[in-house]
């Protein structure tokens, strides 16, 4: 299965490299959104910085990852079905999308820091939160994309399925990032980290149970 996962990741990387304009458009959207917000607010408030950052990351995640299964045709899915294990397909999507989202999140952090200030006080906690957030968003949007790809109104269904799954994750991410910025003081942030890890593992477990049945349909 490891060879299948590696081959599928290489396939996604090659496809994105051939369609570089798609990733470039996401980065341009990211830069324009941050620039407009910074110019409109003219504020170096850490709380506003934190809110803008996660809003941008959330919308970029939906644009960059939601295409995982939606952009693939029925013929492509049938072809993959004859070659690969469904768990390998889903795992490769999770790994690849997590890496893409983490890179885009780092770009968002760099742009916000360039245009405003760097309010982060606990760098280790912030970047760990960022990685867990990228992982969680990747899992949610990838799995909901696999469900929505079988429906007619895919984009609407994707939003309806993703929102309730993202809410508990977003609350925890905001709390951890507020601690890393020094906006709140809470020495029990290890519990919040464990909650995030538990949410990610729960979503992965459920998706591994359900995806083979979706794959057959």
Report how far apart, in Å, the C-alpha atoms of 69 and of each of 8, 74, 156, 205 are.
13, 10, 15, 19
Sign, Cα dihedral of 184, 188, 192, 193: positive
- Tokens representing 41? 């607010």
Specify the pTM.
0.86
* Contact yes or no for 166/58 (Cβ under 8 A): yes
pLDDT per residue as tens, the chain (217 positions) = 777 778 778 877 877 777 767 777 778 888 888 888 878 777 677 888 888 888 888 888 877 776 666 566 666 666 666 677 778 888 888 888 899 889 988 988 988 888 887 888 888 889 999 999 999 998 888 888 777 766 655 666 667 777 888 888 888 898 889 888 888 876 677 888 898 899 889 988 888 888 777 766 5
What kind and span of H or E run contains 85?
A: none
The reported pLDDT for the residue numbered 130 is: 92
């Amino acid at each position: 299965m490891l060879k299948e996962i590696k081959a599928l990741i290489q396939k996604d990387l090659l496809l994105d490299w051939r369609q570089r304009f798609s990733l470039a458009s996401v980065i341009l959207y990211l830069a324009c959104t941050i620039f407009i917000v910074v110019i409109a607010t003219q504020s170096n408030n850490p709380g506003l910085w934190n809110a803008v950052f996660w809003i941008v990351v959330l919308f970029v995640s939906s644009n960059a990852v939601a295409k995982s299964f939606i952009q693939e045709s029925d013929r492509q899915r049938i072809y993959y079905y004859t070659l690969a294990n469904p768990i390998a397909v889903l795992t490769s999507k999770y790994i690849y999308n997590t890496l893409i989202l983490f890179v885009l999140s780092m770009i968002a952090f760099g742009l916000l820091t360039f245009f405003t200030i760097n309010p982060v006080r606990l760098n280790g906690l912030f970047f760990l939160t960022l990685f867990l957030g990228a992982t969680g968003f990747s899992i949610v949007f990838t799995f909901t994309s696999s469900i929505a790809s079988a429906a007619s109104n895919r984009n609407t269904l994707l939003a309806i399925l993703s929102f309730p799954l993202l809410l508990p994750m977003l609350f925890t991410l905001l709390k951890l990032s507020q601690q890393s910025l020094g906006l709140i003081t809470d020495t029990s942030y290890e519990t919040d980290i464990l909650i995030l890890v538990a949410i990610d593992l729960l979503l992965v477990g459920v998706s591994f149970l359900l995806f083979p049945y979706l794959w057959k349909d």
